[in-house]
Amino acid sequence: MSVYVDTSCAASLYVADSHSSAAAAETAKSSKPLLLSSLGELELTNALHLALFRKELLPADLSAALAAFRADVDTGIFAIKPMSETIYAEARRLSARWSATLGTRSLDILQVASAIVLEAEIFLTFDARQKKLAKAARLVCR
C-alpha cells in the first residue's frame, strides 16, 4: 500500500508532539517506502529549522532530527519524488475546483496534488484543512 506523508505527519516522526505516536503507528503500517515530494522535503526541513527559531528545539535536537530524516531517506523508508508539471497541473485543477469553497492554501493543494499524481493509496495528515481537500479529492485519509 503506497502512503503519502504530508509535512504535519512527517514532522511528528522527528519531533515529539501530540501526534507523534499516531504518526509512528500509521507509517509503520506501510510495507512500501513512504512517499514525499521534494516540496514535502523542503517543508519538513524548514519546519524543523523554524522549531529551532521558535526555541521549541535545541540545536542538538535539530541536528539529530535532520540526521534521522536523512538516514530514513538513505535507507529507503522515504522515497522523495520531484515536483513535476503534472503535479502543478493537478494543483491548478484542485485549486479551481476547491479553493473557493474550502479555503485551501497553495502548499496544501500542492501536497494533495502530489499524492494524487504519485498514486498514493493513503494520505497521512494532521492538518484539518488539508484533510478536507484530500477527502474532497477522494483520497483515503488517516
Domain ranges within the chain, ordered by starting residue = 3-136
Q: Are strands 3-5 and 122-124 parallel, antiparallel or unpaired?
A: parallel
The reported pLDDT for the residue numbered 69 is 98
Q: How many CB atoms lie under 10 A from the CB of residue 141? A: 17
How does pLDDT run along the chain (142 residues), one tens digit per residue?
899 999 999 999 999 999 999 999 999 999 999 999 999 999 999 999 999 999 999 999 999 999 999 999 999 999 999 999 999 999 999 999 999 999 999 999 999 999 999 999 999 999 999 999 999 999 999 9
Decide: 5 and 35 in contact? Cβ < 8 Å.
yes
The reported pLDDT for the residue numbered 1 is 85
Distance between CA atoms of residues 68 and 101, nearest Å? 38
Into which CATH architecture does domain 3-136 fall? Answer: 3-Layer(aba) Sandwich (3.40)
pTM of structure: 0.94
